[in-house]
A = this chain, B = another copy of it.
Amino acid sequence: MAEEKKLDRREFVKCSCAAGGGLLLATPMGALAADTPKENVKSRGYAAIDTSGKLVPWLFERRPVGDHDILIDIKYASICHSDIHQEKGHWGPQKYPQVPGHEIVGIVAAVGSKVTKFKVGDRAGVGCMVNSSLEKLDQVENQEQYTPGTVFTYGYPEKDSPTGISQGGYATNIVVRDHFAVHIPEHISFQEAAPLLCAGITTYSPLMKARLKKGMKVGVAGIGGLGHMAVKIAVSKGAEVYAFTTSASKVQDILGFGAKEVIVVDDLSKLAAYQGKLDYMISTIPYQYNVAAYVALVKPYGTFCQVGMPERFEVTLNALGLAASRVNFNASLIGGMKETQEVVDYCADHKVLPKIQIIRAEQINAAWESVVNKEARYRYVIDAATF
């Protein structure tokens, strides 16, 4: 694969020419007339080729830029635990090679003939969705993630894609229907914006539904990429945040994020003191865990929201414990596109920013291991110039 990459590197120069600066003029690949012959877009990225969780460099082609599509030259893509779950087959069998990555930011390098939302040179972000089989999307605004026809960013059947599936953001570029891209304001860096496209929206959406108020006691379980954003967003809304982590080494960081208390759950007995004390709780834990023990921390008739997606998406609850808690349990999947734009703008405006570590493409495999081993602090962001 590494050899193949070299052979075709020259091909990418024309696509990568946009990667230099924050603003740029229309390139020859700029606005495409409706009758422009549609050509596949060459891309270079890192792909999983099996369930090993080891990625390799890969040259591939993306679908042509259609009338409603934009081509984004990717600047940064960050690593979400979901990337690892999916590529390892934890959520079901996958088609390989598959490029993961659904926290993507970059610069618009071309727009389809009917695109009005973006122009070449715009700063754009892409999250977990890239396309839809629906012609009109205004009816599903802000519930695209639950709407049949939506194409998720990687590993999803996509008929126009030369590989048969959507291919994600660990790559030099991406083709996205304009509806599924958001604007990245000038006053937030690309690096810090990238994690907002999944970690940000996935926690922001349910937290907004919880109608956070000043002084509300909000629990956050699992303080990784998603969890640390949940803490920061809830704190920014005035909530009293109780953060539950299994990593004692994260305590100072999390207090720095504004949490009122950090509870190191090295044993479930540590939860006892908080039973029935929280108004609301969100769990980002992406593995099987004792859900009912955490649910019991919420006051009767409060809500506990699961956003971490464990293997096979399975969450096992003790129904007796759930009954005793009288808590409503629900789950949430990312957010709609309207809300995704909202969280990006909100975080940019209020400086609610992820704590990140920039890495090069060749460090991806090591970074994945660190994510699994809970060593990430708190989001790895890949510099796309290194693909």
Which A residues have a C-beta under 8 Å from some C-beta of B? 146, 303, 306, 309-310, 312-324, 326-333
Contacts and interface: CB of A to CB of B under 8 A. Distances in A.
A326 B326 CA distance: 18
Given A326-B146, A326-B330, A329-B329, A317 B320 contact: no
Could you tell me the dominant secondary structure of chain A's interface residues?
A: mixed
A314 B318 contact: yes
A333 B321 CA distance: 10
B317 A317 contact: yes
14 contacts: A146-B324, A309-B319, A309-B320, A310-B319, A313-B319, A314-B317, A314-B318, A314-B319, A315-B316, A315-B318, A316-B316, A316-B317, A319-B331, A320-B333
Contact of A330 (B314, B320, B328): B328
The CB with the most chain B CB atoms within 10 A, among A309, A313, A324, A330, is that of: A330
- How many copies the complex holds: the figure is 2
A332 B318 CA distance: 12
Contact of A313 (B309, B320, B330): B320
Contacts of A315: 316-319, 322
A362 to B, nearest CB: 32
Contacts of A303: 328
A303 B313 CA distance: 20
Contacts of A314: 316-319
A306 B319 CA distance: 7
Most buried by B among A146, A309, A315, A327: A315
Contacts of A306: 319, 322-323
A322 B330 contact: yes
A121 to B, nearest CB: 36
B331 A323 contact: yes
Given A306-B319, A309-B319, A309-B320, A329 B328 contact: yes
B324 A313 contact: no
B331 A322 contact: yes
Given A312-B318, A314-B316, A314-B317, 11 more contacts: A146-B323, A146-B326, A303-B328, A306-B323, A313-B320, A316-B316, A316-B317, A317-B331, A320-B333, A323-B332, A327-B330
B323 A333 contact: yes
A337 B264 CA distance: 39
Nearest to A330: B328
Nearest to A288: B316
A310 B322 CA distance: 13
Contacts of A309: 319-320
Nearest to A329: B329
Contacts of A312: 318
B331 A330 contact: no
Nearest to A317: B315
Contacts of A327: 330
3 nearest interchain CB pairs? A323-B331, A323-B333, A328-B328
A360 B161 CA distance: 69
Nearest to A313: B320
Contact of A320 (B321, B328, B331): B331
B326 A329 contact: no
